[in-house]
Amino acid sequence: MATRTITERHEYILSKIGKKGKLNIDDLAREMKVSGVTIRKDLKLLEEKSLLFRTKGGASINNPYAGDKPINEKEFINIEEKNKIAKAAVELIKNVDSIMIGSGTTAFALATALHPSKKMTVITPALKVGLELSGRSNVEVLQLGGVIRPNSSSVAGGYALQVLETISCALLFLGVDGIELDYGATISNLTEATLNRKMIETAQTLILLADSSKFNRRGVAKICSADQIDYIVTDHKIPARLVTQFEDKGIKVIIG
């Protein structure tokens, strides 16, 4: 087979994903006789044009974050990016005695990376976060109570909301399923959205943890508008134009 031009490769990829719904990088590389690196670059360009969604090892015609996927499925998507985001987010935790960490795989990565040198309280609705930090040096965990949602291993409901009425914290770290400058931040579960909005009210500073695939995506439930966001911690794959747009609105974007 003759070497395909970039346009021909893109046409082939879009035609095939339209028929199959999902693609594998290794299969595409073999079929088009190019390297996996070339295919990854092709998929990145096509995702930036909102023509497909990159996934671990391939691509999908459907947004892997749009639905309320179980946390044990999400944890395998963009692992490297999430760990880098977590390490960058930890650097924001300075001279504070209380923080709040939401649910989700990027939030859990933050908990894993958190090793404070001074005592602090961590408030969380996420069971995995609470268990990870339980017994960690210099960390006291305040676990919010309520009904546990199996998909996220996080609590929701009136009990957690009641506790949040009586406390405050310096920093809130939230994972989201979508961020749009004109619309705000969204997640994929209506029940958890109510709790997230209350957590935002409780905190002095809102920090969103979002890998680059979450931008210009929208989940079913809005949790805040863009003017409520103080920081976004993301990965290096975010287009520079988006960084400029968010920072022009007064939101500090940190690249992990």
> pLDDT exceeding 70 applies to what percent of the chain?
91
Give the least confident one: 35-49, 99-113, 168-182, 230-244.
35-49
Q: Are residues 24 and 105 in the same domain?
A: no
Cα–Cα distance, 163 to 151 (Å, whole number):
23
The confidence score (pLDDT) of residue 130 equals 96
Residue 78, pLDDT above cutoff 90: no
Q: Are residues 192 and 140 in the same domain?
A: yes
Q: Are residues 79 and 205 in the same domain?
A: yes
Structural domain includes residue 115: yes
The confidence score (pLDDT) of residue 1 equals 44
Q: Can you tell me whether residue 53 is helix, strand or coil?
A: strand
Cα–Cα distance, 32 to 74 (Å, whole number):
29
Q: Are residues 95 and 208 in the same domain?
A: yes
**pLDDT of 104-126, one tens digit each?**
889 999 999 999 999 999 999 99
Domain boundary among 60, 82, 105: 60
* The pair of three-digit structure tokens given for residue 192, joined into one six-digit string: 């958890």
The confidence score (pLDDT) of residue 155 equals 85
Q: Are residues 149 and 249 in the same domain?
A: yes
Structural domain includes residue 156: yes
* The pair of three-digit structure tokens given for residue 107, joined into one six-digit string: 């939030």
Residue 152: pLDDT band (50, 70, 90) is low
Q: Are residues 85 and 13 in the same domain?
A: no
CB atoms within 10 A of CB 112: 18
**pLDDT of 86-99, one tens digit each?**
999 999 998 899 99
The DSSP 8-state label assigned to residue 126 in this structure reads B
Our count of domains for the chain comes to 2
Give the least confident one: 13-17, 95-99, 171-175.
13-17
The confidence score (pLDDT) of residue 176 equals 93
Domain boundary among 41, 60, 79: 60
Residue 174, pLDDT above cutoff 80: yes
Cα-Cα end-to-end distance for the chain: 40
Cα–Cα distance, 103 to 196 (Å, whole number):
9
Structural domain includes residue 66: no
Residue whose token pair is 């988006």: 242
Q: Are residues 209 and 151 in the same domain?
A: yes
Q: Are residues 111 and 130 in the same domain?
A: yes
Structural domain includes residue 65: no
Q: Which domain does 87 fall in, by range?
A: 71-255
Domain boundary among 60, 87, 103: 60
Residue 115 backbone zone (phi > 0: left; psi -120 to 50: alpha; other: beta) = beta
Instruction: Say if CB 191 and CB 150 are below 8 A apart.
Output: no
Cα–chain center distance at 164 = 23
Q: Are residues 75 and 26 in the same domain?
A: no
Q: Are residues 10 and 114 in the same domain?
A: no
Cα dihedral sign, 217-220-225-229: negative
Residue 156: pLDDT band (50, 70, 90) is confident
Q: Could you give phi then psi for residue 225, rounded to 5 degrees?
A: -90, 165
Structural domain includes residue 142: yes
Q: Are residues 190 and 103 in the same domain?
A: yes
Instruction: Say if CB 132 and CB 108 are below 8 A apart.
Output: yes
CB atoms within 10 A of CB 182: 8
**pLDDT of 128-147, one tens digit each?**
999 999 999 999 999 999 88
Tell me, what CATH number does 188's domain have? 3.40.50.1360
Q: Are residues 82 and 196 in the same domain?
A: yes
The confidence score (pLDDT) of residue 198 equals 95
Structural domain includes residue 110: yes
Structural domain includes residue 1: no
If you average pLDDT over residues 162-183, what whole number do you get?
Answer: 94
**pLDDT of 192-219, one tens digit each?**
889 999 999 999 999 999 999 889 888 8
Structural domain includes residue 117: yes
Residue 23, pLDDT above cutoff 80: yes
**pLDDT of 26-76, one tens digit each?**
999 999 999 999 999 999 898 887 678 787 788 887 665 555 555 544 554
Q: Can you tell me whether residue 157 is helix, strand or coil?
A: coil
Average pLDDT, the chain: 88
If you average pLDDT over residues 145-172, what whole number do you get?
Answer: 86
Cα–Cα distance, 139 to 117 (Å, whole number):
9
